[in-house]
Amino acid sequence: MNKDSNKATFLFSSIMVVVVAILLSVTSISLSPYQEKNSRIEKMKNILTSVAINTETPETEQLFKKYISKEIVLNNKGEEVTGKVPAFDIDLKKELDKTKIGKADEQLFPLFICNKDGKSFYIIPVRGKGLWGPIWGYISLESDMNTVYGASFGHKGETPGLGAEIETEKFQQQFIGKKIFDESGKFVSVQVIKGGSSPNDEHGVDAISGATITSNGVSEMFQRTLSNYIPYFKK
């Protein structure tokens, strides 16, 4: 075959595409277990961060086992269910989306119980939408199932200095001590307030300046996700 012909060039290019594709596939498959493990460790770190336990990667799994005493799976009626997928493996986005397709009765929600310093804390995953993509996190409640003990948030694609501020300690610390129920026992969640909340507001935190949509997304995230746990807390 003439090496300078179009046929030879096309054949060589095709072979290279196939070889590179195989190499990429093999690499992806071989790295998949490590990627999955790293993802699980990152999730553990975020859960622990919501109860003020900061960890380094090598000790994360050990600390998770030490402090997370119980993982519960709840249905949409606030009842504990067993024999389903483990709480840690539940994809909250998929569960929340079930309401859009008329399968709310099939929803499952994870709840993590942490024992720390002789006290129990309830850790709830939350998920919503920011300006440019999904936002998520974990909120921990004290044993009264009302007072926020801590919070940890993450995002995908929010603007640095604006919406991305939800990941900062300064923003997250505002939630500590806030209440999700009012004095009459009604669920009111925690609101991120544009222009700032009043000093005595037990349910409000200051919004991020210049990031109204993301701030509203955090409020909606709390309201929509936490409402699924209220039947359990009421019991």
Provide DSSP, the chain.
--TTSHHHHHHHHHHHHHHHHHHHHHHHHHHHHHHHHHHHHHHHHHHHHTTT----HHHHHHHHHHHEEEEEEEETTS-B--SSS-GGG--HHHHHHGGGGT-GGG-EEEEEEEEETTEEEEEEEEEEE-SSSEEEEEEEE-TTSSBEEEEEEEESSPPTTTGGGGGSHHHHGGGTT-BSB-TTS-B---EEETT---TT-SSEEEPPTT-HHHHHHHHHHHHHHHTTTHHHHH-
pLDDT category at 67 given cuts 50, 70, 90 is very high
Average pLDDT (131-143) is: 95
More confident residue, 133 or 9: 133
For residue 218, is it within any domain?
A: yes
Least confident of 22-31, 82-91, 189-198, 200-209: 22-31
pLDDT number for residue 28: 64
For residue 139, is it within any domain?
A: yes
What is the rounded CA–CA span in Å between residue 191 and residue 213? 13
pLDDT category at 199 given cuts 50, 70, 90 is confident
> Taking 90 as the threshold, does the pLDDT of residue 234 lie above it?
no
Number of domains in the chain: 1
For residue 28, is it within any domain?
A: no
Least confident of 4-18, 51-65, 88-102, 176-190: 4-18
174: exposed, middle or buried (Cβ count in 10 Å: 0-12, 13-18, 19+) = middle
CB 142 within 8 A of CB 52: no
Range of the domain at 69: 41-234
pLDDT number for residue 155: 92
For residue 220, is it within any domain?
A: yes
Q: What is the pTM of this model?
A: 0.84
For residue 11, is it within any domain?
A: no
> Taking 90 as the threshold, does the pLDDT of residue 37 lie above it?
no
Average pLDDT (32-58) is: 86
For residue 95, is it within any domain?
A: yes
For residue 19, is it within any domain?
A: no
